[in-house]
Amino acid sequence: MTDGAGTGENDKLTPGSDIVQELTIEELRAKYGSGLTISSEDNMLLSMGPQHPSTHGVLRLLVELDGETVVNLAPDIGFLHTGIEKTMESKTYTKALVMTDRMDYLAPLSNNLGYIMAVEKLLDVEPPPRAQVIRLILTELTRIASHLVWLGTHALDIAAMTVFLYTFREREYLLDIFEMCAGQRMMASYFRPGGLWRDVPEEFEPAVRKFLEFFPAKIADYEALLTRNPIFLDRTKGIGSISAEDAIAWGLTGPSLRGSGVDWDIRKATPYLGYEEYDFNVPLGSTGDIYDRYWCRMLEMRESLSLVEQALNRLPDGPVTIDDWKIVPPPRSELGRSMEAVIHHFKIWTEGFRAPEGSVFQRIESPRGEFGCYLRGDGTSKPARVHFRTPSFVNLASLPILGKDVFVADLVAIIGSIDIVLGEIDR
């Protein structure tokens, strides 16, 4: 189940030795201070992770155990920290885009959207309607794809193996759609400042329509495996509950917040991409336990399907980028006959565009909750400061609250239910 018992036998290694330096248990206690105090001498301190499948990436949890019950726990993160925010300060606005894909690698298009909308807000440009609708379709499909991975791994955590195989089969279909548009299955970087990289291909609409046709039956399949499964209910009902007040105070967002019955969805509260023109519901839970969070996400997938269908039905014709060569590179066909196009092409790929001075904050509803992008421009072609408010990072902070006084096995289920992605926690 877990690896590395807390025996305190790892002596601190001197720098220069060829073994990775580890802290002793005593040092860990000192380091986490009030976050992790051993309340009884009989309790055991256990290091869970970082290399453990049920921690969904490289998350390490320091767990204080009384028998099999979690008394206290402290998350230890940073194993995937790559300094994305710092690196972005040295790239132009367009080049920095590719790093947003790598944060939440299960919902790259949502990250693209949050960042690109912040850049567009800073530049004060608005993409054409067709680009908006395609963005909406793709981010909603991303939401489904992300929820599919969550569902599969969450069920796998509580020993329901079959669901995993089914959800990854359907996710593969969605990844094919992303590849069709962007040329990449996952790291799409498809949304660009001022619109899209290019228009969607002809096969896009039939492929999405086919998905809309067969996917509802697949959701019914997953539900047949889980929703009324007595083992699943035993493992999820009444476990890991959090009240609405606590959920807000601890900054939970997304389905993890709505599972507690708080009606807050950014798509409804501060609509972007024209969400206010669409007809959809925000599924809410009531008790805030694992099952409610599960149920919210299952219903959200159906709502996303309905959103995609509505968007496809109204998909307008027209350009997918704005007509400003200062921001959008000129089309290839222009390069052979227009000197201005050549100049713009050269300028945009060497220097990039300059954004005005000022700070903006753009929030969107990513599959995991509120994804916020803070961007400060200083008049140059590179951002002076980029900061991401990533939902997984903030949601993880409430894990010590959710995971108190539960069994270790339930702790694994709780980690699955708040749906964290370590790439965007550490970024």
Partner 1 sequence: MNDTTPDPDAFYSKVNQAFPEAIEDVIDFRGERTLVIRQEFLREICLFLRDDEDLLCNFLEDIVADDMLPEYPRFAVNYHVYSIPNKQQLRLRVPVDDPDDGPETVASVWPIASWLEMEVWDLMGITFKGNDQLRRLFLPEDWQGHPLRKDYPLGYEEVQFSFNWEVIDAKKPYAKD
Task: Show the tokens assigned to 414.
Answer: 């709780």
Residues of this chain that interact with partner 1 (CB under 8 A) are: 15-18, 21, 23, 31-35, 77-78, 81, 83, 85-87, 89-90, 120-122, 124, 126, 248-251, 262, 264, 269-272, 358-363, 370, 372, 374, 376, 384-385, 387, 389, 393-394, 397-398, 426
Distance CA 109, CA 304 (A): 15
Residue 376 three-state SS: strand
Nearer to partner 1, 39 or 87 (CB): 87
| Composition of the chain by helix, strand, coil, percent to 5 | 50, 10, 40
The secondary element (H helix, E strand) that includes residue 63 is strand 60-66
Element (H, E) at 361: strand 358-366
Residue 329 CB, nearest distance to partner 1 (Å)?
22
Nearest distance in Å: CB 251, partner 1: 4
215: tokens are 């996917």
For the sheet with 44-48, list strands across it.
44-48, 60-66, 69-76
Query: Between residues 14 and 40, which has the closer beta carbon with respect to partner 1?
Result: 14
152 or 255: CB nearest partner 1: 255
Least distance to partner 1, CB of residue 263, Å: 9
Based on its alpha-carbon atoms, the radius of gyration of the chain, rounded to whole angstroms, reads 23
User: Is the CB of residue 407 less than 8 Å from the CB of residue 69?
Assistant: yes
Q: Which is nearer to partner 1, 128 or 330 (CB)?
A: 128
Complex with partner 1: residue 33 or 206, whichever CB lies closer: 33
Residue 367 or 372: the one with the smaller Cβ distance to partner 1 is 372
Amino acid identity of 145? Answer: A
CB of 360 to partner 1, least distance (A): 5
- Helix boundaries (H) for 3-128: 25-32, 84-88, 97-101, 108-123
> Would you say 152 and 169 are in contact if contact means Cβ atoms under 8 Å apart?
no
Q: How far apart are CA 396 and CA 392, in angstroms?
A: 6
Find out whether 364 and 272 touch, Cβ atoms under 8 Å: yes
CA distance linking residue 242 with residue 295, whole number of Å: 15
Q: Which is nearer to partner 1, 152 or 254 (CB)?
A: 254
DSSP H helices, 244-329, are 244-249, 255-258, 266-269, 290-313
Nearer to partner 1, 71 or 119 (CB): 119
**What is the closest distance, in whole angstroms, from the C-beta atom of residue 362 to partner 1 in the complex?**
8
Minimum CB distance to partner 1 smaller for 185 or for 385: 385
Q: Report d(CA 138, CA 364) in Å as an integer.
A: 14
Number of residues in the chain = 427
